A and B are shown apart, each in its own frame.
Chain A
Amino acid sequence: GESVGLHLPTLSVQEGDNSIINCAYSNSASDYFIWYKQESGKGPQFIIDIRSNMDKRQGQRVTVLLNKTVKHLSLQIAATQPGDSAVYFCAETTSGSRLTFGEGTQLTVNP
């Protein structure tokens, strides 16, 4: 399953499918990006980060892709599990400045 555009608030996928969550950022000077996962009633939890001198970074079951040309960031989750159900936020910053969060996408994983 895939979300399109910053303002699509929900994404529903089947357990075992791959998920793609998209984020558009506005500041062309941003040089560092983070994906956070937020479960209900909890604080944002760091998932993966990427610097602007890279276009791809992989973690455990997650991959972040950065396209600076179109100011687009995506988070790919492989073999999505029910425990992945949460709201996912992208965040951007320039060096030494505040971390600015995007709107968030609610990912629901159906068994």
Chain B
Amino acid sequence: EPEVTQTPSHQVTQMGQEVILRCVPISNHLYFYWYRQILGQKVEFLVSFYNNEISEKSEIFDDQFSVERPDGSNFTLKIRSTKLEDSAMYFCASSGIYRVRREKLFFGSGTQLSVL
């Protein structure tokens, strides 16, 4: 069964460093998303991406965050200068195939980001 894959599974970084989280969405999907989950809390929306541009972003997704689809398969989230409060599990998701509602998201297993 097709799945969303994310790398790395764990990322440890120093405060102020840049990190790039990588995702390979399901191949025939059209919409791509990043969500995050702070330990013990609910899953929070960060950004959605369609047709090579951001379609919606949350208040969490400030100027330190950016997304990119550098080729036909990868979708990345960059945090320019990490803060302690960026520590969370980051989930990539994709959706959108013919006759299936595009809000039906399929998630990857996540990247646990720890900022020290």
Contacts and interface: CB of A to CB of B under 8 A. Distances in A.
B56 A103 contact: no
Interface string A59-92: 0000000000000000000000000000001010
Contacts, number: 50
Contact of A43 (B44, B91, B104): B91
A100 B43 CA distance: 8
B48 interface: yes
Interface residues of B, number: 20
Given A98-B56, A99-B45, A100-B45, A42 B109 contact: yes
B42 A103 contact: yes
A34 B102 CA distance: 12
Nearest to A102: B42
| Interface size of A as a range | 20 to 34
A89 B63 CA distance: 29
B106 interface: yes
A45 B107 contact: yes
A101 B104 contact: no
Given A43-B91, A44-B91, A97-B56, A89 B42 contact: yes
Contacts of A102: 42
Among A93, A99, A100, A101, the most chain B Cβ lie within 10 Å of the Cβ of A99
A98 B58 contact: yes
A103 B38 CA distance: 12
B108 interface: yes
A46 B104 contact: yes
